[in-house]
Amino acid sequence: MIKLSVIIPVYNVEEYLDKCIKSVLNQTFSGELEVILVNDGSTDKSPMICDKYALMDKRIKVIHKKNGGLSSARNAGIDVATGNYIAFLDSDDFWIKNTINNFVEIAEKTSADILVGNAVRYIHKESRYTSYPNNIKNEVKIKSTRNKLLYILKPQNRFQWHVWKCIYKADLIKNNKLYFKEGLLFEDVEWLPRVLTCANSIEIVDKIFIAYRYQRPNSITVDPSKTIRRLMDMIRVVNSLSIYFKDMPIDKELKKRFYINFSEIYTYVFLRQVLIKDICSKRLLKKLSYYINYYQGKYSKILKIMIKILGYKNTCMLVNKVGLICLFIRSKKGGYLPVS
């Protein structure tokens, strides 16, 4: 029988935590379930809610720890997880009713290292669902793990590195010591590519199982105060992955497909570099400028021509001038340069 460990980091989410936990406990599930609530130093009623559920249901474990961030909380959950498979769920999101058992059945049948599922957006302010733009369809003709990775990373699919859209074999994570890098706001992007390269088998489950709560108040993705740090972390993540993939023994086509995906992140930061004053981040932008050659987005031709004619330094000066104009316009409208 498969045992699934669900790791839920918890930090000041008293308004959403009940719905999140209940969405897991109320699943129709043929296997054994372990729910790990990691209270990451919450200062609201979240710790009491965690303890309340632990008293009500023996399947729940609670870890209370000092605040260390999302990566730290997930790592703490990995250390105590006893299941054959591990899933991650953010405490403001929730699982769709009666969906997880299908994943368990596929896991039992295939013994896949990673099961890639799909999501739906839950618009918090309007309490309604909308389609998630980056779901991956299952192509039954694609058999090998390498070709599945090539398909997942296909630029047209615009794959996003959300760890909660997958379910992972515990041995894959623990045997390869695949922990999250702590101290980052963009930890999913740094972690999931490393995990994918370690997988021997991947199954795409063309089923929606998770609701991603979109644009809730105080979320990092809508907090302008986090914008600059998030941009800085993005470029550090790209640098970390570049070091990891440099000597990774995978074929050139697959490595190129990863780089094309990373180039989206690099170029996103490059076009917003006017916000960044940190010298180390500026140096990383220059060091990693080769990613513009992999970029295939709507500004790719313009950027490549500009760098070829003007050079990197002059292109940066022009990008910054345009960025200042955009900032001025947005400030008049009461806005800021968005991160997502």
pLDDT band at residue 338 using 50, 70 and 90 as cut-offs: very low
- The identity of residue 317, as a single letter, is M
The answer to whether residue 291 scores a pLDDT higher than 70 is yes
pLDDT value for 215: 67
Q: C-alpha angle with apex 132: 126 to 137, nearest 5 degrees?
A: 155
* Residue 290 CB contacts under 8 Å (≥ 6 apart), including other chains: none
* Consecutive H or E run containing 320: helix 300-332
- Dump pLDDT digits (tens) for 188-241: 999 999 999 999 999 999 999 999 998 655 554 445 557 889 999 999 999 999
Q: What span, in angstroms and rounded, lies between the C-alpha atoms of 118 and 178?
A: 23
Topology of domain 3-221, CATH = Spore Coat Polysaccharide Biosynthesis Protein SpsA; Chain A (3.90.550)
For the chain, domain boundaries: 3-221, 224-332
pLDDT more than 70, % of the chain: 92
Cβ burial 263-283 (10 Å sphere, 16+ → b, else e): bbbbbbbbbbbbbbeeeebee
- Asked if 59 and 35 touch (Cβ cutoff 8 Å), the reply is yes
- Asked if 165 and 114 touch (Cβ cutoff 8 Å), the reply is no
Of 217, 227, 183, nearest in space to 74 by CA: 183
- Average pLDDT (164-172) is 97
